[in-house]
Structure formats: structure tokens, C-alpha cells
Amino acid sequence: MPPRGEFSVSVTKDYLVFASAHFITFAGHRCEGLHGHNYRARVTIDGPLDPESWFVFDFVVLKKIMRRLCDEIDHKVLLPLENPKIQIAQEGDSVKVAYEGKPRYVFPAKDCALLPVPNTTVEMLAELLVKRLRAELETLGARQMVAIEMEVEENFGQSAVYRERLQ
């Protein structure tokens, strides 16, 4: 008989830090100035026990994947590609950013992470990290997982959680 309870594994925030710059837009015509956060992520995967190893997922592998996903956006300016108020144009080695048609910033392209999100809120970063982790798990053939939950914190005590059921 299979166990009746449910298992999950977590990798938590002290290990998954990324220090990045961003700004978000608000309703109407408000837009933040550029600033940075020491973001911290926590991931939890729900799933059945692997029948041979008696774990949900290998911590070493999960940490390695999450570390890589965080490193991709660490020490970058996070820019949203799907925000109708923000225009982003890559020209050579530069990324030009305009807000409502007015030029605002020019960054070296190597320092930017252009993200497929409408705003770089912690909610959207959490959802993006789940999407990217899900793709990695599928590549590894880990299809039996039940859910992924991602928390992204931008300040101590201030975080968003995105939870996606996989089946």
C-alpha cells in the first residue's frame, strides 16, 4: 500500500539569493525609479516518493537547477518585455529603455535580463521561476511531480508566492 500522506521537498532562501536591479510600473502613469533588491527564493516541490530512493526529488539536482536559474538573473537589471508602457530596444551592445515613449535608461546589454513578464514584481518573478524550473524538470523526465511552489522575497518579510499544479 502506498503511503497516505503527501511529501514535498524544499530548498530555501539562504541558498537562493539574487541581487538585481529593477523598477515596476503602477496603474496610471506611475513608474518607479531604478533600484535594487537582494531577492531570495524558496522552492517547494510536491510529488510522490521515488520508489527506489525514497525521496521526492534529489536535493543536489534541485539546488543545482535553482542556483543556475537564480544566477541567470543575478547582478542584472531585470527588464519586462511584455509591459505596454515600457519600450525596450537592443542596439548593438546596448539596451535602450523608454517609459511611455520617453527615453529613460541605456544599459550595457550584458548587464540586462530581458524577461517575458509584464512587470518585474515578485509575483511575476515567482511565476517565471516556476515556468523555468518546470521546463528543467521535464527535460530530466521528472514528470510525476504534483505541484511547484515558489516564493520570492524582495525585502525581509515581504514576498510573493506562486503555486502551480502540474497534473
Residue 108 CA from chain centroid, whole number: 22
Partner residues linked to 45 by β-bridges: 9, 148
Secondary structure (DSSP) of 69-117: HHHHHTTSEEEETT-TTEEEEEETTEEEEEETTEEEEEEEGGGEEEESS
Separation of CA 147 from chain center: 16
Burial 70-105 (b: 16+ CB within 10 A, else e): beebeebbbbbeebebbebeeeeeebebebeeeeeb
Catalytic positions: 31, 75, 154
Residue type at 164 in one-letter notation: E
Q: Which runs of consecutive H residues, i.e. helices, occur in the chain?
A: 59-73, 122-139
